[in-house]
């Protein structure tokens, strides 16, 4: 898994180039106005209403296991809760912090177990660099960040170096199977907000192993 190494490289690079995010960077807040907790569990939901819902995984193309991060095809589905964490030893998440995003528990059939659920970006996809799970060998070195938008909500970005020119927005590409895949984009980010996970809510985290 490349992410821990990338986090270490990021921290060293940021230290020596004075690019470490400022302690005055704004704290990211959830839909209730509460600070996003480091290591907390949240649903990632779209701000703008559409025919798609929260973020989950699906098997796309020829995948036999659910490896592609997508927006749910059900606009009322919250998706699968994610664990959002930074390697910094701080209690809350701020804008610009390097992040690791991992899905919480979800069900798959036995041939797909164990399935690592950490988000990565994979090159060489028909839709361009796409967000995947499952520790693919062609994963891009980098990390995720959260940025506040001027209007409302936040966007997710993926960075390969601390300089902002090496960061790209996370947007949506709808494929021929109507999967709304999360992909890298330069000008059309998916606007999101964060809903704190409640273990007492009904869960709908069953993930089918093949494309539907």
Task: State which CATH number among 1.10.510.10, 3.40.710.10, 2.80.10.50, 2.102.10.10 fits the domain covering 3-196.
Answer: 2.80.10.50
Minimal CA–CA distance to 131: which of 173, 93, 165, 75? 173
Residue 173 has pLDDT above 60, yes or no: yes
**How does the average pLDDT of the chain come out, rounded?**
86
Minimal CA–CA distance to 55: which of 32, 76, 81, 31? 81
Residue 139 has pLDDT above 80, yes or no: yes
Residue 144 has pLDDT above 90, yes or no: yes
Helices then strands (H, E): number in the chain?
A: 1, 12
Residue 150 has pLDDT above 60, yes or no: yes
Give the residue with greater pLDDT, 82 vs 6.
82
Average pLDDT over residues 21-39: 89
pLDDT tens digits, residue range 98-136? 999 999 877 776 678 888 899 999 998 888 899 999 988
Residue 90 has pLDDT above 90, yes or no: yes
Give percent of the chain with pLDDT exceeding 70.
82
The Cα-based distances of 94 to 39, 55, 76, 125, 145 in angstroms read 13, 21, 28, 31, 9
Confidence of residue 15 (pLDDT cuts 50, 70, 90): very low
pLDDT tens digits, residue range 43-72? 999 998 889 999 999 999 989 899 999 999
Q: Which two tokens stand for residue 178?
A: 């109507």
Q: What are phi and psi for residue 83, nearest 5 degrees?
A: -100, 120
State the Cα–Cα distance between residues 159 and 88, nearest whole angstrom.
Answer: 17
Q: What is the pLDDT of residue 100?
A: 97
Q: What is the pLDDT of residue 132?
A: 96
Q: What is the pLDDT of residue 13?
A: 52
pTM above 0.75? yes
Average pLDDT over residues 161-179: 93
Q: What is the pLDDT of residue 17?
A: 43
Q: What is the pLDDT of residue 151?
A: 82
Q: What is the pLDDT of residue 18?
A: 41
Q: What are phi and psi for residue 111, nearest 5 degrees?
A: -60, -20
Confidence of residue 24 (pLDDT cuts 50, 70, 90): confident
């Amino acid at each position: 898994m490349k992410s821990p190494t990338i986090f270490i490289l990021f921290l060293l690079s940021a230290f020596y180039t004075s690019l470490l995010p400022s302690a005055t960077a704004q704290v990211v807040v959830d839909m209730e106005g509460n600070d996003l907790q480091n290591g907390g569990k949240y649903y990632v939901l779209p701000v703008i209403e559409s025919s798609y819902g929260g973020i989950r995984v699906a098997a796309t193309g020829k995948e036999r296991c659910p490896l592609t991060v997508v927006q749910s095809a059900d606009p009322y589905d919250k998706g699968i809760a994610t664990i959002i964490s930074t390697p910094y030893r701080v209690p809350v998440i701020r804008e610009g912090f390097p992040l690791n995003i991992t899905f919480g528990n979800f069900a798959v059939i036995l041939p797909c177990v164990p399935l690592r659920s950490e988000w990565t970006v994979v090159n060489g996809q028909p839709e361009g660099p796409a967000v995947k799970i499952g520790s693919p060998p062609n994963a891009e070195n980098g990390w995720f960040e959260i940025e506040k938008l001027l209007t409302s909500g936040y966007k997710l970005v993926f960075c390969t170096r601390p300089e902002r020119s090496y960061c790209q927005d996370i947007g949506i590409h709808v494929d021929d199977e109507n999967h709304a895949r999360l992909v890298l984009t330069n000008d059309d980010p998916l606007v999101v907000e964060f809903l704190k996970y409640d273990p007492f809510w009904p869960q709908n985290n069953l993930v089918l192993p093949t494309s539907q």
